[in-house]
Amino acid sequence: MVTIDDYGEYETAWCPGCGNFSILKAVKQALVASRLEPHQVLFVSGIGQAAKAPHYLNANVFNGLHGRSLPVATGAKLANPKLAVIVESGDGCNYGEGGNHFLAAIRRNIDVTLLVHNNQVYGLTKGQASPTTAEGFVTKAQPEGVFSMPFNPIAVAVAMHAGFVARGFSGMIDHLSNLIQQGIAHRGLALIDVLQPCVSFNKVNTFAWYKERCEPLPPEYNPTDWQSAMKIACEWGDKIPIGIIYRNDRIAFEEHFPVLAQGPLVEQDVDGAMLKEIIEAYV
């Protein structure tokens, strides 16, 4: 049986008090609860503070470019559908630089768990606005405050009929861990947007700020009802709903490829006879 110790414990480069620590803990718990062993899991990340997370546990890791974790994860999943693939990266990475891949991953519904550490700021580059930063938020790069409307990943994902759309909060580890576990179990893209205080650069959306607002959806909430999901997706104010906001059972992308039912591509030989037949057709 896999235990939390199998996932190790490492020194990090994060600031003391950062919300990332709790997310890391929740991830480990979820992996254990999912009975996954380290070598069965592939973490793909981009660049940013959040993107360092996979370095701090035992697993396969591909820490790629800023904004590009979803395509890498998609490729890896399509090469080896047996891997449990988890993307872990920041709000800037996934909704900023990587916005186009976010849309495409939802459309594909590739079986990847997408964990976005959403601290509403670019942490690693020292506090510029991210796509989820609130209007009016002042930074050194936005001295007059942010002019753009914040990106609502949940609303866009629900509008696009993503297969699994959830919001968590780093301050509620068990709740979050459970969401991640369900996300991993879900066949298809599972978006989990995790509200995460950045103690160094976000002095507005602090731990206390989130704590005061985050409220788990009631047990009777039905995440398969698109209409109400769309409504919940837009709630963001004194109350911020957390939990699984929407889900459906769209077929996972990799299931469209019969070849992948046979397992990892690397294990499959080149069919010489078929190749010959194909080449001979050029006569």
Partner 1 sequence: MPESTMNILIGGEAGQGLVTLGQLLAKSLVRSGYFIAVTQGYQSRIRGGHNTFAIRVGLDEVIAPLESLDLLVALDEDTATLHQRELSADGLVVIDRAFDVDADSFLKVPFKELAHGRFSNIAALGVVGSLLGLDDALMAKTLDDFFGKKKAHLAAENRRALKAAVEWTAAHSTAWCKLPAVSNPARRFMMNGNEAIALGAISAGLKFYAFYPMTPSTSVSVNLATHAKRMGLVVEQAEDEIAAINMAIGASFAGAPSMVGTSGGGFALMVEGISLAAMTETPVVVVVAQRPGPATGLPTRTEQADLELVLYAGHGEFPRAIFAPATVEECFHLTRKAFELAERFQTPIFLLTDQFLADSYRTVRPFDVENLSPVHVGAHAPESSPYLRFAITESGISLRLLPGMSEHLVVADSDEHTEDGHITEDLSIRTQMVEKRLRKEGWIGSLVVPPEMQGDEVPDLLLVSWGSSKGAVEETAWRLRSAKQRVATLHFSQVWPLRPEEFMRHLESARQVVSVEGNALGQLSRLIRRETGFEIKKQVLRYDGLPLTPESILRELNYGNH
| The two structure tokens encoding residue 78 | 């399509």
Site string for partner 1, 79-108 (x = CB under 8 A): xx-xx------------xx-xxx-xx----
List the interface residues with ligand TPP, window 150-189 (CB under 6 A).
none
Using the minimum distance from each CB to Mg ion, give the nearer residue, 34 or 49: 49
Q: How far is CA 91 from CA 74, 214, 256, in A?
A: 19, 18, 30
Encode 189-218 in three state secondary structure: CEEEEEECCCCCCCCCCCHHHHHHHEEECC
Choose which of 2, 4, 15, 159 interacts with ligand SF4 (CB under 6 A).
15
**In the complex, minimum distance from the CB of residue 103 to a copy of itself, in angstroms, rounded to a whole number:** 5
Q: Is residue 56 classed as helix, strand or coil in its secondary structure?
A: helix
Choose which of 19, 54, 64, 92 interacts with ligand TPP (CB under 6 A).
92
Partner whose binding site includes residue 90, from partner 1, Mg ion, a copy of itself, none (CB under 5 to 8 Å by kind): Mg ion
**In the complex, minimum distance from the CB of residue 10 to ligand TPP, in angstroms, rounded to a whole number:** 17
* DSSP string computed for 5-20: GGG------SPTT-TH
| The two structure tokens encoding residue 215 | 């409220």
Choose which of 29, 49, 109, 170 interacts with ligand SF4 (CB under 6 A).
49
Give the binding range for Mg ion (CB under 5 A) out of 11-19, 29-37, 73-81, 84-92: 84-92
Task: Identify the bridge partners of residue 85 per DSSP, sorted by sequence position.
Answer: 42
**If 0-12 CB within 10 Å is exposed, 13-18 middle and 19+ buried, where does residue 238 land?**
exposed
**In the complex, minimum distance from the CB of residue 277 to partner 1, in angstroms, rounded to a whole number:** 8
Choose which of 22, 58, 130, 178 interacts with ligand TPP (CB under 6 A).
130
Give alpha helix (H) positions in the chain. Answer: 20-33, 69-79, 91, 99-108, 153-159, 173-185, 207-213, 226-233, 272-280
Partner whose binding site includes residue 91, from ligand SF4, Mg ion, a copy of itself, none (CB under 5 to 8 Å by kind): Mg ion
Binding region for ligand SF4 (CB under 6 A): 14-15, 18, 20, 49, 119, 123, 198-201
